[in-house]
A and B are shown apart, each in its own frame.
Chain A
């Protein structure tokens, strides 16, 4: 069984630039959630995708957007990067309903300078 994978592992961007992060869900999981984790904090929910549509959103501005593809993989796009966007971005996959357990990938470390 293949777990959740994310790319790239690390990324350095300049303030004002745009970034795209990628996630492949665990085999059999059709729901993908994205979280932002600042240093020393717990993960904060950004949004979730199910059947290629956004299915819930946390307190993040519209410059955070996403996509889900027919194979359940997903992208997180962040426009107009700010210094505070520097964080570990985590993708988690799950099966809707039932246990609500979410399984996380290794994350992408984004540094904005």
Chain B
């Protein structure tokens, strides 16, 4: 069975304190890995898609990387407005068009 595990469950950072969130996956065949940001009570907001090991994507203070077993979301010099839950999801071979999500990392950035 396809599994997606995110760590840590929660992370508290000071403004400007860079860190990384981890998404490890065990799947039959990866077709794509997706990162989403979710604010409380809202729907997930699409951030990145990664398709193959070694690929990197950047957007403002966020950079996503992918290896054959895991993905990292690096947050550089975070600001309080980066506080949210970050979700990782995979699309797998033979899985139709469904996404399988991890449980997310709840990030809080304090002044």
Chain A residues proximal to chain B, CB less than 8 Å = 4, 6, 31, 33, 40-45, 48, 50, 55-56, 58, 88, 90, 92, 94, 96, 99-107, 109
Shortest distance in angstroms between A102's beta carbon and chain B's nearest beta carbon? 6
Distance of A94 Cα from B101 Cα, bound (Å)? 17
Knowing that A102-B99, A107-B42 touch, tell me 8 more A-B residue pairs with CB under 8 angstroms.
A56-B97, A92-B99, A96-B97, A99-B49, A100-B91, A101-B34, A102-B34, A107-B41
Tell me, yes or no, whether B87 is within 8 Å of chain A by CB.
yes
Shortest CB-to-CB span from B105 to chain A, Å, is: 11
Point out the residues of chain B lying under 8 angstroms from A45, CB to CB.
98-100
Question: Known: A42-B89, A100-B32. Contact between A106 and B100, CB under 8 A?
Answer: no
9 A-B Cβ contacts within 8 A?
Answer: A43-B99, A94-B97, A100-B97, A101-B46, A102-B46, A102-B99, A104-B46, A107-B42, A109-B41
* Per-residue A-contact encoding for B16-47, CB less than 8 Å = 1, 0 else: 00000000000000011010100001111110
Point out residues on B near A: beta carbons under 8 Å. 4, 31-32, 34, 36, 41-46, 49, 87, 89, 91, 96-104
Query: Contacts of A96 on B, CB cut-off 8 Å?
Result: 97
Give the chain B neighbours of A58 by CB distance below 8 A.
Answer: 98
Q: Report if A31-B97 is in contact (Cβ < 8 Å); known contacts: A90-B43, A103-B46, A104-B43.
A: yes
